[in-house]
Amino acid sequence: MAGKMSPRIASIALVIILVLISSLPALAEESDGETITITMTTKTVLEIELNPTSWEIGQVGPNTEYKTNPEKTWCTMTNRGNCMVNTYIKGDDAVWTESPSVYKWTLSDDGYNGTQIYVLWCLKEDGSSPLIKKYEDGIGDEFYSGLGMGEGNQKQFGLKLLTPPPDYTKGGIGYFSGGGEMESHIIVSGVAV
Amino acid sequence: MNRRIVSMALTIILALIPCLSALAADNSTVTITMLTDKYVEITLEPAEWDIGDVESNTPYVTNATWCTITNEGNCVVDIYIKGEDAVWVDNPSAYTWKLSSTENNGKGVYALWYHIAYDSADSYTLITTIDTHMKKANGEVLQLIGNGAQKEFGLKLLTPLADTETGHFWGGREMKTTITISAVAA
């Protein structure tokens, strides 16, 4: 084998020589041609818009159900981003705005109200009414999936709320220990698919 | 760099790219507000201060925690206080002591103060016939937040100056006065 070049090494050497030969005239002209390769990735924009963003129920009594008006199309959710999203929903405890740390209603996780426990449902266009639950961590329960762009970028829904039973009764009238304004929030999250 | 390490790094980066888009999220919020009925009620315990025999131009003081105000309602309340003239129980129209409006007593004029428990020592506030916010020494309005909330206070009374000529401090007469404490939803 000594002194005899392998045909494979010979081929590589030939290619290098040919490349060099073709470069030589260019070098001789003192000019060069280089290329720049540009690559980019479009940025994903996520934006979920809700309209309206507040539900002012007004005066509420104990153990009573309240629905948005219209029931199932009260709120319009629009995908304002540039990608398809799955949406998730979660609720929160309702707090007494006078002093949130003193009095609150816990959000039910089983669909039943109780002493200082209230219930929230989502009223969907398909007639279903899933429970809205509270999640300390995470983004909540799956809501509408595959919310696209352009046509098909909107979904509508409504809400239903059941107040707790009274905390005490005076003169035959039931009262909550927190008299005044109660406030709660629902969070809808959109995640790029 | 070792070719194997480069390959692993590339794999990790490629694996992270699809994860990043899945983790990206946007939140929107609906706020729900509702109004519950307010019910205002307070109680005072005790509701009587029987001083006994009093002398002219002499201060009488209760303990600083003598009276407890309790919020029996369901809302935040501001507390107001007012006093009135003291009258002779046997014949109210015949003999009275005027309630002072200046912190000074006088002939036929007595003075009343309150002190909120645990407030600055000796910080007494004058009680007049005008319904006024109860306040601490620093001007902070007294509020009872929610059902069961309590505050304690004491009273100080300074009897009128003696004046036997005009009969402004008759002996042996039972005098009576009333302090009104009211709660208003804040």
Question: For residue range B100-117, what is the model confidence (pLDDT) as tens digits?
Answer: 999 999 999 999 999 999
CA of A190 vs chain B CAs: smallest distance (Å): 5
Residue A5 pLDDT? 53
Find, in chain B, the residue whose alpha carbon is nearest to that of A59: B35
Measure CB to CB from residue B34 to each of A58, A191, A193 and give the nearest one. A58
pLDDT(B12) > 70: no
pLDDT(A28) > 60: no
CB < 8 Å to B24, chain A? 44, 46, 191-192
pLDDT(A9) > 70: no
- Answer whether residue B161 is part of any domain: yes
Residue A11 pLDDT? 56
Segment 112-171 of chain A within 8 Å of chain B by CB? 120, 139, 159, 161, 163, 167-168, 170
Residue A43 pLDDT? 85
**CATH number for B138:** 2.60.40
Domains held by chain B: number: 1
Local confidence band at A2 (pLDDT 50, 70, 90 cut-offs) = very low
- Contact between B29 and A159 using a beta-carbon 8 Å cutoff: no
- Answer whether residue B22 is part of any domain: no
The residue with tokens 């818009």 is A49
Residue A35 pLDDT? 77
- Answer whether residue B14 is part of any domain: no
- Answer whether residue B180 is part of any domain: yes
SS (H, E, C) chain A: CCCCCCHHHHHHHHHHHHHHHHHHHHHHCCCCCCCCCCCCCCCCCCCEEEECCEEEEEEECCCCEEECCCCCCCEEEEECCCCCEEEEEEECCEEECCCCCCCEEEECCCCCCECCEEEEEEEECCCCCCECCECCCCCCEECCCCECCCCCCEEEEEEEEECCCCCEEECCEEECCCCEEEEEEEEEEEEEC
Tokens standing for residue A82: 């540039």
Residue B20 pLDDT? 42
- Answer whether residue B6 is part of any domain: no
- Answer whether residue B21 is part of any domain: no
ipTM surpassing 0.85, yes or no?
no
Is B146 within 8 Å of chain A by CB? yes
pLDDT(A7) > 80: no
Local confidence band at B23 (pLDDT 50, 70, 90 cut-offs) = low
* pTM (2 d.p.): 0.73
Mutate to test the interface with A, among B26, B72, B76 (most CBs of A within 10 A): B26
Residue count of chain B: 186
Lowest model confidence (mean pLDDT) among A1-15, A104-118, A148-162, B124-138:
A1-15
Task: Look at A24 and B175; give whichever has higher pLDDT.
Answer: B175
Containing structural domain, residue B70? 42-185
Local confidence band at A1 (pLDDT 50, 70, 90 cut-offs) = very low
- Contact between A173 and B37 using a beta-carbon 8 Å cutoff: yes
Is B38 within 8 Å of chain A by CB? yes
Indicate the average pLDDT of chain B: 87
Residue B172 pLDDT? 87
Q: How confident is the model over A138-152, as a mean pLDDT?
A: 90
pLDDT(B19) > 70: no
Q: What's the CA gap between A180 and B76, in Å, rounded?
A: 9
- Please name each of the domains of chain A with its CATH number: 48-192 (2.60.40)
Local confidence band at B176 (pLDDT 50, 70, 90 cut-offs) = very high
**How many other C-beta atoms lie within 10 A of the C-beta of residue A67?**
15
Mutate to test the interface with B, among A56, A98, A143 (most CBs of B within 10 A): A98
Residue A42 pLDDT? 76
- Answer whether residue B1 is part of any domain: no
pLDDT(A39) > 90: no
- Contact between A159 and B25 using a beta-carbon 8 Å cutoff: no
- Tell me whether strands A180-192 and A85-90 are parallel, antiparallel or unpaired: antiparallel
- Answer whether residue B66 is part of any domain: yes
Residue A31 pLDDT? 67
